Structure 1
Amino acid sequence: MREIRFLVLAGLSLLGFLDFSEAQVLLNPSKVVLHIGKEGVPPRNSEGSFIHLKDGRILFAYSKFIGGASDHASGLIAGRYSEDGGETWTQNDEVIVDNEGGMNVMSASLLRLNNGTIALFYARKNSLDDCIPLMRISSDEAKTWSEPIQVITDKEGYFVLNNDRVIQLPSGRLLAPVSLHKTAGVDFSMRGNIYCYYSDDNGKTWNSSQEMLNQDKVVVQEPGVVLLKNGEIMMWLRTDRGVQYLSKSHDNGLSWEEVYPSEISSPRAPASLKRIPKTGDLLLVWNDNKGLVEETASYRTPLTAAISKDEGKSWKHIKVIEDDPEGFFCYTAISFVGNEVLLGYMAAEHVRPTGKLPLVVRKLSLDKLYD
């Protein structure tokens, strides 16, 4: 396994980029606790999500592609379990959702609902004109699942709901941020139309927010949302502008303000963000890459973590989790276990991976992230 380098650079601004010429301290506060597909079988393993079960186990559900490494290859939702807080995991996959799509099912989001049940969200991909997020409910701690409920019923097309993205507000409202890229008879567009679908009855019925404002037609993709302490909802988005972009909702996800650039330098790759239960701070995991440099604009390395104590206005305690310049690290799922955090992410060996896309679950100390 590659060395793990953590930068100790107090006050480093995310407006700049990580400079690997700076002094670095070599630490080893984390470990790989699960490595799926290391030998290339199956060819792709990616886009997972964690859920803590009432019997103390943790379920990690992820996309298992058995027909190839592309987004459109045959695939299903598989699962592994841990009985010891993520230290060790079952060696064999359990099929959570078999392939019920014309192409695949992929991109799991697991969420404990306010009523105690577990929701599983995933994309059912039939074609480039038909990719819709679905929801299933388990009332018996992930032993069995309900029939799927279609999240989007008012539109048809190719929608992307990233893994580990759905949230529930204290009011009970569910928010599922999606990006629409194609409808029948129209060419695929890299610039998504961004919506946030919401449900006020635990997922039985869903409605669409207004489309996020994007007057400059920025190429935005793969949205995620987080509830801020002041009641606003902050959305972050992948773009081709060298930074992550942001938008906010002031009405619980019904409408979204004009998208705007953040200071989070980034390639054309997704970020992941969750609130740390122990401290109340925000944890960001992303590729702190020179996104404006053409030669490296698509590189999804290094994999980096940072913490915000002011609701995303600034980011500090910047640490490099994976620093292989030839690596490809993305679609990170985040889950907290006491004073530690589990990160599950795609971890390929080449910046332009083909045919071999393994998945890694890594366990880190929160104390080390705050150092």
Structure 2
Amino acid sequence: MSNVPMTRPEEALAIHETRYFHSSTFTELEDGRILHAAGTNFNTSDDGGITWSESFSHTDTAGNPVGGGGTSLVRLAGPGIGLAGMQRPTEGSSESIRRETHLAFWRSEDGGETWEPPIRITPPGIATYAYQDVLLRTSSGRIILPVYIAIGQASGPDDVKPPASGKLVKGQWVSTAAHFFDPRFSASCVYYSDDDGQTWQRNQDGELIILMDWNASFSYTNEPTVTEVSPGRLLMFMRNGLGRVFQAWSEDNGETWTRPQPTSLASSTAPAQIRTLPNGHLLAVWNQETEDEIKRGYNRTRVSAAISRNGGSVWEFFQNVESMHEETRVEPGPIRPVRPAEYNFDPGLPAPEREQEHILPFDFHGRWSYPSVLVMKDRVLITHTYSYYEEHPTRAEMILSSQKEGGFNQKLKVLPLTWFYGGKEPADNPVLARIYDQGNPNA
């Protein structure tokens, strides 16, 4: 285990400890300030993320709070900005709430000072959700919002209905849950707007699911994120439970997509972010863990960053944004379901057979995931969740650091662009340029 939680921490321009968990999103305003939103909270920075204003909230012109779960900000034309967020019914049965969760879009024409009432993006029916910080404005002006639908029985984020995954830390059981046993299926899709968010359409070719052995069986995708690699050519990353980040491509600005395929990036069951840098290179930020680490309950213990200088084929400059491990790059395993090996059923049921080599005691356990990413000219802002277990001072129980008085549940890191290139100035890779130059027979 590493005593250094990130690669070259001395290069960070600022590190903030906050309580915004996994709801942060950012955009640059017309006057150069950064606007940050998290749920229904807002604040601003006028020095590139080094310092921040106090938190404040907004109501729209109808008097309702602006924002919700899975918030995403985007620049509109001129000084305008838009915000997407999930809306849930405040009353009703669990079934109606699951069926009525939808995405809404707020517009501001004055840089976030005043807000119009929201426009519903997704129609009634199957519940629709979104990962935070995923709105994209493409070079054509089209706004892309990747979302996912979910069907199945009611479930909770902590696997509260067994089987429940976890492990022993200082002799006490703690959770390693990440929806490993949820009885539901999800699939990704895209909504897009060509009029600055006033009306929305859905991609033409349906939901994106993973075909296992083509159509022999299927696996889910959710919490998608999208970037524009070149004009009209979009790349989507998707969460799943198969040990890899999966990707899909669109050649028509988000209207149709290829079938999801695995990348070379090892991943636990957690979402990623993908961004295009000012120089055209791609930046990925995600939870990178091996199959063995996940089985030992180390899922969500390494937030990684990597650069692609050839449009997403080859990934380089692997760095640890936050990690319990020394390694900055791990090889992906076989494409198959993977979850922690230690789990339990209800009392009275037979104990499950488990993989003995992965059932180990630990003295420390933390988790960090759900990155948000703002790319600026000379720096990148990254937030991720942060918490760890520690012993209660007087009771025989483990408590999360984020639940203590004065605790925090998120880190915001302001990193120079050079950090993502091993501490050096960004440059193209001449070897990759020769290899992928199809017009050069001597490459």
TM bin (shorter chain): 0.7 to 0.9
Deviates more, 1:80-89 or 1:226-235: 226-235
SS at match of 1:128: helix
Distance 1:157 1:296, change over 3 A: farther
Where does residue 228 of structure 2 map in the other structure? 227
Question: What amino acid maps onto 1:247 in structure 2?
Answer: A
Matching of residues 207-356 of structure 1 within 5 Å: 207-209=201-203, 210-214=205-209, 215-216=211-212, 217-229=218-230, 231-277=232-278, 279-291=279-291, 294-296=294-296, 299-324=299-324, 326-350=365-389, 356=403
User: Is the Cα contact below 8 Å between 1:289 and 1:297 reproduced in 2?
Assistant: no
From 46, 55, 73, the counterpart of 1:93: 55
Where does residue 18 of structure 2 map in the other structure? 36
Shift of 1:87: 0.7
Shift of 1:213: 4.4
Question: Which 5+ residue runs of structure 1 have no aligned equivalent?
Answer: 7-25, 38-43, 64-76
Q: Distance in 1 between matches of 2:100 and 2:296?
A: 32
| 1:177 correspondence with 2:216 | no
SS at match of 2:374: strand
User: Is the Cα contact below 8 Å between 1:47 and 1:346 reproduced in 2?
Assistant: no
User: Is the Cα contact below 8 Å between 2:275 and 2:375 reproduced in 1?
Assistant: no
Q: Distance in 2 between matches of 1:28 and 1:136?
A: 39
Question: What amino acid maps onto 2:11 in structure 1?
Answer: P
Where does residue 143 of structure 1 map in the other structure? 113
Shift of 1:232: 2.1
From 188, 195, 198, the counterpart of 2:189: 195
From 82, 85, 96, the counterpart of 2:45: 82
Where does residue 75 of structure 2 map in the other structure? 112
Question: Which 5+ residue runs of structure 2 have no aligned equivalent?
Answer: 90-96, 156-181, 213-217, 326-364, 391-398, 423-443
Distance 1:283 1:52, change over 3 A: same
Where does residue 6 of structure 2 map in the other structure? 5
Question: What amino acid maps onto 2:38 in structure 1?
Answer: Y
TM-score, normalised via structure 2 length: 0.67
Distance 1:130 1:339, change over 3 A: same
Question: What amino acid maps onto 1:304 in structure 2?
Answer: S
Q: Distance in 2 between matches of 1:85 and 1:336?
A: 11
Q: Distance in 2 between matches of 1:350 and 1:124?
A: 32
Q: Distance in 2 between matches of 1:95 and 1:164?
A: 18
Shift of 1:80: 1.8
Q: Distance in 2 between matches of 1:4 and 1:194?
A: 33
Question: What amino acid maps onto 1:79 in structure 2?
Answer: F
User: Is the Cα contact below 8 Å between 2:139 and 2:232 reproduced in 1?
Assistant: no
SS at match of 1:246: strand
TM-score, normalised via structure 1 length: 0.80
* Greater relative contact order, per chain length (Cα 8 Å cut-off, separation 6+): 1
From 51, 68, 74, the counterpart of 2:27: 51
RMSD: 2.8
Shift of 1:298: 6.7
SS at match of 2:418: helix
Q: Distance in 1 between matches of 2:301 and 2:136?
A: 27
Which one has a larger percent strand, Structure 1 or Structure 2? 1
Shift of 1:262: 1.1
Distance 1:329 1:54, change over 3 A: same
User: Is the Cα contact below 8 Å between 1:241 and 1:291 reproduced in 2?
Assistant: no
Q: Which has the larger radius of gyration?
A: 2
Where does residue 343 of structure 2 map in the other structure? none
- Per-residue deviation, residues 88-141 of structure 1 (Å, max 9, x unmatched): 112x3211469969xx92121111124541011111122222211111111111
SS at match of 1:299: coil
Question: What amino acid maps onto 1:58 in structure 2?
Answer: I
Q: Percent identity?
A: 25
Deviates more, 1:252-261 or 1:207-216: 207-216
Where does residue 71 of structure 1 map in the other structure? none
Distance 1:213 1:5, change over 3 A: closer
Q: Distance in 2 between matches of 1:170 and 1:114?
A: 12
